[in-house]
Amino acid sequence: MFNVGDKIVYPMHGAGVIDAIEEKDILGEKQAYYILKMPGEVKVMVPISKAEQVGVRNIIDKNSADKVFTVLSQDETEMDKNWNKRYRDNMEKLKSGNIYEIADVVRNLAFKQKEKGLSTGEKKMLENAKQILVSELVLVEQSNKDEMEELVDNKINNSFMLFRGNDQVKESVVKKFIPFNNENATQNT
């Protein structure tokens, strides 16, 4: 059982604070609800009796946050080439509510976006996953959203440059300086 003021995570929505515990009569059924204050001044009601079942958990601690930053600093993990399968796999990771799985999704999709771009669905998934991740890290680190987004982006950009940077530089140099047909070859000499 959680208490008013506890900082918790509601999977697929992010981290928030229990603003109140209220009894509500909804469709003739009286139940006690956690009233969660989520980022963006959104309020969510979660039945106390189902909180554990839907994956509500306490936010991570500082040590776990450091491990999240380590995940963001690593190379991407293997993802399915088929976008539909990859989307389903990433959705399962997000639904798990596991902060490390969420960080993995954010890093992997950010790498993919930098390399090839993302479909509209995967762009939205990246935005949602990043919002979930940042909302929890803001509470753990007692920071603000902008600072935390910048920190997450910096970790991902640094790891991308470390693991893919040389490949991207080589590819852009090759495209810029190697003629692709004989007509360009004779014009450039």
Architecture of domain 7-58: Beta Barrel (2.40)
Contact residues for 12 (Cβ-Cβ < 8 A; gap 6+)? 94, 95, 97, 128, 132
Could you state, in order of their start, the residue ranges of all structural domains in the chain? 7-58, 62-176
How much is the pLDDT for 169? 47
Helix residue spans in the chain (DSSP H): 62-72, 83-96, 99-115, 120-141, 145-177, 182-188
How much is the pLDDT for 164? 87
CA-wise closest residue to 54 among 14, 97, 17 = 97
- What is the amino acid identity at position 48? I
| 8 Å CB contact between 106 and 69 | no
pLDDT tens for the chain, 189 residues: list them.
899 999 999 998 999 999 999 999 989 999 999 999 998 889 999 999 999 999 999 999 999 999 999 999 999 999 998 889 999 999 999 999 999 999 999 999 999 999 999 999 999 999 999 999 999 999 999 999 999 999 999 999 999 999 987 665 445 444 444 454 544 444 444
| Residue 8: strand pairing partners | 16, 58
7-58 and 62-176: same fold? no
How much is the pLDDT for 184? 47
How much is the pLDDT for 152? 98
The CATH code that applies to domain 62-176 is 1.20.58.1290
